[in-house]
Amino acid sequence: MLRIPRRFSHFVFGFIQSGLTCAVAAAIASIPFLAAGAFVTHWLQSWLMAWIMMTPIVLFAAPAIRRLTYILTRED
């Protein structure tokens, strides 16, 4: 099994998270293609394009989102 050093876990998390999120969004957007029998083709094309576009955004936005989350929350 591929073992990536833990110092890169931020990138691994972002890669997996963006892929899953894009897969779900592309599936929802592809529902109208069920009747035409083109769901899988449309879903794969949409998912791949969305994943390519979204991965860098997730990787670069995550630190800012973490900081904002820290600002908006408090210790109990």
C-alpha atoms less than 13 angstroms from C-alpha of 44 in its C-beta half-sphere: 3
C-alpha 71/C-alpha 74 separation (Å) is 8
Helices then strands, each counted (H, E), the chain: 2, 0
pTM for the full predicted model: 0.73
How does DSSP assign 25-55, residue by residue? Answer: HHHHHHGGGTTTT-HHHHHHHHHHHHHHHHH
Question: pLDDT tens digit string along 13-48?
Answer: 888 999 999 999 999 999 999 988 999 999 999 999
Contact 16, 54 (CB under 8 A): no
